């Protein structure tokens, strides 16, 4: 076998390894986060929504925090305007993710609409974690994770809605820890310098301090100003 052939195999081996790593990362996050849809389906039905309404919320809204906000506010007796306003505040971060991902994905037309629907915490996090492996790996990570979470989230929402009564108290299952645990797993490898860790700790401290004071969604959004302030420094 000539040296060009060896080089070709090595190149293919590297591509295969990158692809399998991206697929592994995407699947592990998709399944973990998607399983939390059980908790949403059960909570939605418990707060007076029908199985169909619960599934439509997951299918069309597809933003876990915003969906929980809607059923929580409505279940507590709030009006639809309050529910939508709270959900919208929580959804602001997805718009910020879109600003980050748009120049990397470079999609237009219908693909842009599809990409916008699956621009969530997890798809953005996995995509950015693949950036060192190349642009293709980053795009694959985004779409595999986005569609993976979408499919699992909707399937588990249906399961949770149908089995709401059988599940009992959904908090006892510990599923509420799945999403923050998965997100921490995505963020942690990117905190490679002392400066990164300091910003992360400052954001955590600010969010915890503001949680008892501000409405849902605002504490998380407020932490973005820390990153902006640090980024504007010379």
Per-residue model confidence as pLDDT tens digits over 92-125: 888 889 999 999 998 988 899 999 999 998 899 8
Above pLDDT 70, what percent of the chain? 81
Name which residue leads in pLDDT, 67 or 230.
67
Pick 76 or 157 by higher pLDDT: 157
Crossing angle between the packed helical segments 121-129 and 178-187, to the nearest 10 degrees: 30
Q: What are phi and psi of 63, to 5 degrees?
A: -150, 100
> C-alpha distances in angstroms, 88 versus 34, 96, 102, 186?
21, 13, 21, 24
Q: How many helices (H) and strands (E) does the chain have?
A: 13, 0
Whether the pLDDT of residue 155 is over 50: the answer is yes
Label residue 185 by pLDDT band (50, 70, 90).
Answer: low
- For residue 148, name the pLDDT band (cuts at 50, 70, 90): very high
Q: Give the burial string for 138-163 (b: 16+ CB within 10 Å, else e).
A: bbbbbbbbbbbbbebbbbbbbbbbee
* Residue 31 in this model has a pLDDT that exceeds 60: yes
Residue-level pLDDT at 65: 81
CA–CA distance, 83 with 178 (Å, rounded to integer): 24
Q: What is the pLDDT of residue 2?
A: 40
pLDDT of 48 above 80: yes
Extract the tokens encoding 36: 């939390």
């Amino acid at each position: 076998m000539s040296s060009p052939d060896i080089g070709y195999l090595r190149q293919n081996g590297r591509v295969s390894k990158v692809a399998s790593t991206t697929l592994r990362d995407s699947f592990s996050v998709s399944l973990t986060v998607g399983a939390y849809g059980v908790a949403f389906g059960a909570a939605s039905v418990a707060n007076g929504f029908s199985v169909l309404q619960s599934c439509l919320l997951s299918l069309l809204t597809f933003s876990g925090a915003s969906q929980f906000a809607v059923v929580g506010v409505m279940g507590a007796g709030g009006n639809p305007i309050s529910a939508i306003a709270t959900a919208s505040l929580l959804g602001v971060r997805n718009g910020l993710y879109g600003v980050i991902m748009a120049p990397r994905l470079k999609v237009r037309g219908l693909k842009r609409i599809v990409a916008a629907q699956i621009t969530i915490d997890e798809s953005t996090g996995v995509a950015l974690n693949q950036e060192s492996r190349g642009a293709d790996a980053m795009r694959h990570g985004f779409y595999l994770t986005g569609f993976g979470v979408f499919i699992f989230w909707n399937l588990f929402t249906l399961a949770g809605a149908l089995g709401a009564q059988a599940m009992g108290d959904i908090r006892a299952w510990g599923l509420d820890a799945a999403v923050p645990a998965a997100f921490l797993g995505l963020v942690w490898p990117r905190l490679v310098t002392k400066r990164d860790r300091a910003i992360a700790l400052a954001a955590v401290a600010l969010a915890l301090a503001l949680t008892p004071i501000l409405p849902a969604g605002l504490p998380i959004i407020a932490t973005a100003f820390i990153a902006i302030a640090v980024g504007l420094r010379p």
